């Protein structure tokens, strides 16, 4: 494997505002807090990290960060492809038990990596990265993962649940997850027993049904607010699923609740 500048990145970051939505990366992230304080949530576990702490986030692990104070940090990003090559594991993650992760030797190496990187001393930088990965492997161990992370599918499902009102298609989901459209679609259906487009349609329709029963919104407004492209497509899909029009459904449901 030929090494290149895309194998890793290291950034000196300053934040006065940070409120990340839940997301993941196809890379290992090692963040060293130089100043300030953040709240990290990694796989549902909340952790406060502050000056002197390291926070490690595996590839394909869902996380979010909220800034609690103005923060300065070094962020090392190591490409998963490069990690796989170094460890001879195609699908893996470090067995990180908790954050913050306090290892003085790792902190010193990270500071050296930053110094050598600024001076374009590539050989020294790569030797330090190898040393860092060796320490992580020895201290945490590594765990094998499936070739297609269930976390990714859960991300797609939850993304649809939260953003069903917006324009969503398979191409956009493919870009978000970095997986091929056909493969993503096949694995989603295999896991959930329903296709992505069908799942999206059902989520939108569930919300539309509630609006029809519980609000006085116009049917046109309900269609657009729940992500349907037109009133015609909404009416057509509704009739196909429930064998009646949205107007009839609303009238019938209200008669059942408040019979005359």
Compute φ and ψ for 46, nearest 5 degrees. -85, 135
Does residue 189 have a pLDDT over 70?
yes
Contact 56, 83 (CB under 8 A): no
Structure confidence at residue 2 (pLDDT): 46
Section 6-15 average pLDDT = 87
Shortest CA distance to 129 belongs to which of 1, 6, 5, 8? 8
Residue indicated by tokens 């595996």: 58
Specify the pTM. 0.57
Is the per-residue pLDDT at 35 higher than 90?
A: yes
- Give mean pLDDT, residues 173-194: 83
Of residues 25, 28, 53, 24, the one with CA closest to residue 38: 53
| CB-based contact 90:147 (threshold 8 Å) | yes
Summarised one tens digit per residue, pLDDT across range 50-90 is 999 998 888 767 678 889 999 999 999 988 778 877 777 65
CA distance 98 to 157: 26
Mean pLDDT of the 160-178 span: 89
Confidence check: pLDDT of 3 > 50: no
C-beta of residue 43 within 8 angstroms of C-beta of residue 114: no
- Give the CB-side neighbour count of residue 168, counting CA atoms within 13 A: 24
| Phi (first) and psi of residue 229, to 5 degrees | -75, -25
Is the four-CA dihedral 237, 238, 241, 243 of positive or negative sign? negative
Is the distance from CB of 13 to CB of 75 less than 8 angstroms?
Answer: yes
């Amino acid at each position: 494997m030929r090494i290149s500048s895309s194998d890793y990145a290291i950034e000196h970051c300053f934040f006065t505002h940070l409120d990340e939505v839940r997301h993941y990366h196809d890379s290992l992230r090692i963040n060293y807090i130089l100043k300030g304080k953040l709240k990290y949530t990694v796989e549902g576990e909340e952790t406060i990290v502050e000056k002197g702490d390291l926070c490690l986030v595996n590839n394909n692990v869902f996380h979010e960060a909220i800034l609690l104070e103005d923060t300065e940090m070094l962020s090392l990003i190591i490409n998963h492809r490069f990690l796989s090559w170094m460890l001879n594991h195609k699908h893996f993650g470090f067995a990180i038990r908790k954050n913050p992760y306090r290892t003085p030797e790792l902190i010193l190496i990270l500071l050296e990596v930053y110094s050598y990187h600024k001076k374009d001393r590539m050989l020294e930088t790569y030797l330090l990265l190898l040393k860092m990965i060796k320490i992580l492997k020895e201290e945490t161990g590594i765990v094998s993962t499936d070739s297609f992370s269930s976390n990714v599918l859960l991300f797609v499902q939850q993304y649809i649940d939260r953003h069903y009102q917006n324009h969503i298609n398979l191409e956009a989901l493919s870009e978000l997850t970095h997986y091929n459209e056909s493969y993503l679609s096949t694995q989603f259906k295999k896991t959930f027993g329903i296709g992505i487009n069908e799942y999206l349609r059902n989520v939108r329709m569930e919300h539309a049904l509630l609006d029809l029963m519980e609000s006085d919104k116009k049917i046109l407004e309900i269609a657009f607010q729940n992500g349907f492209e037109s009133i015609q497509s909404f009416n057509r899909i509704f009739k196909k699923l429930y064998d009646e029009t949205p107007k009839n459904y609303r009238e019938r449901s209200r008669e059942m609740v408040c019979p005359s």
